[in-house]
Amino acid sequence: MSPLTARSSVTIFTEKPACGSCLSVADQFVQKYPSILVVIKDNKGVRLNPNRKED
């Protein structure tokens, strides 16, 4: 399958807003694979604790 015909999506989740460098890499990926949707979401600086027990 060629990069131009691949179809999919990827979601990148970060605790903090993505920096300019990370956004640039994502843009480069989109340029190389235009049929793949890239979504970047952040948690607005709220750190996640995987060991936290839910109440």
Q: Residue 51 and residue 23: Cα distance in Å, rounded?
A: 29
Q: Please give the C-alpha separations between residue 20 and each of 23, 25, 36, in angstroms, as whole numbers.
A: 5, 9, 20
Q: Note the pTM of the prediction, 2 decimals.
A: 0.70
Q: What is the pLDDT of residues 29-47, one digit of tens each?
A: 999 999 999 999 999 888 8
At residue 46, the pLDDT reads 87
